[in-house]
Structure 1
Amino acid sequence: MCEVRVKYELLVLAAMTRLDAPNTQAIVAATGISERKVQSVVNSLVKNLGLNIQRERQGRTFRFSINSWGVFESGKAIQSQLNNIDLVIPSSSTLASYEDKHAYFEQVKMDNFKESMRLEGHDIASDFDLSLDREQQRQILLDKYSNVN
């Protein structure tokens, strides 16, 4: 489980250092990590590793900036590693409309759900029929797991 947490921390740090205006939504889009998990990881970086991460208000969102690297001292050694991490940065033309953005974030949520269920030992991949909408898939899962005791 610790290895997964480190992976999330590295992804969030990579996004913070490489995005032009790193905010929660931009980090979600670049990493595929859920919004709640991004916030949790940012708090963990501050609390557990001593990073000084400033949240600057930028309109309706907050932009993150790293003011101090805590246990990473100057940050130079970790930054070279962060540059080698692959981010999934969708182009603005890919997510031009609200519907495209909504579909992308719904897919990120579904991927995160599947991964968390896999980590908990549940094989739910066979339970999904991609031709069904989200509510129909939800109902199938509720029916299946409500009968398991």
Structure 2
Amino acid sequence: MKYELLVLAAMTRLESPNTQAIVAATGISERKVQSVVHSLVENLGLDIQRERQGRTFRFTINSWGVFESGQAIQSQLNAIDLVMPHRSLISTYEEKHAYFEKVKMNNFRESTRLEGHDVASDLDPSLNREQQRQMLIEKYSNVSSLAALNDR
């Protein structure tokens, strides 16, 4: 019932509740929101209409089903804090590329750390990813054992 209450709270408090707005307000996935709306209609008897609004659909609650007039549940819904995650939107190709490069480097550092190598100290942030890769390949290709590497 946790998701159902969050979705209902978003539907009653958002100005134009549609799937994307509910996802943004609650942090629940789009598929889960759609599943919850279907469950509210099928299991709890709510009459939720989908009205076309431009390219999306807006939800409207016409009848509260098992909640009768809806007054009792609405007071509880108003007390629920919506998550409203603060996600920074990455819109340009350059921002996306920089973000993915950062994630790749973090994953690389973590995977080498888990393998017992401390290459993070070897990385030079002034170099681009390919230059760092070449530097690490040169350094570690000449090493026959981990003991020899530690002697350096």
Q: TM-score, normalising length from structure 1? A: 0.60
Question: Tell me, what secondary structure is at the counterpart of 2:52?
Answer: strand
Partner of 2:103: 132
Alpha-carbon distance, 1:43 to partner: 0.1
User: Which protein has greater RCO, CA pairs closer than 8 Å, 6+ apart?
Assistant: 1
Q: Partners in 2 of 1:74 and 1:82 — Cα distance?
A: 14
Partner of 1:99: 91
Question: Tell me, what secondary structure is at the counterpart of 1:55?
Answer: strand
- Report whether the alignment pairs 1:36 with 2:31: yes
Code of the aligned partner of 1:99? S
Q: Partners in 1 of 2:90 and 2:14 — Cα distance?
A: 21
1:84 to 75, 79, 84: 79
Q: Deviations over 1:23-51 (max 9, x none)?
A: 00000000000000000000000000000
Q: TM-score, normalising length from structure 2? A: 0.58
Q: Which runs of 5+ in 2 are unaligned?
A: 96-101, 112-152
- Report whether the alignment pairs 1:74 with 2:69: yes
- Report whether the alignment pairs 1:57 with 2:52: yes
Larger radius of gyration between Structure 1 and Structure 2: 2
Q: Which runs of 5+ in 1 are unaligned?
A: 1-5, 104-130, 141-149
- Report whether the alignment pairs 1:14 with 2:9: yes
Question: Tell me, what secondary structure is at the counterpart of 2:91?
Answer: helix
Question: Tell me, what secondary structure is at the counterpart of 2:72?
Answer: helix
Q: Partners in 1 of 2:63 and 2:43 — Cα distance?
A: 14
Q: Partners in 2 of 1:23 and 1:132 — Cα distance?
A: 32
Question: Tell me, what secondary structure is at the counterpart of 2:81?
Answer: coil
Q: Partners in 2 of 1:99 and 1:49 — Cα distance?
A: 40
Code of the aligned partner of 2:19? T
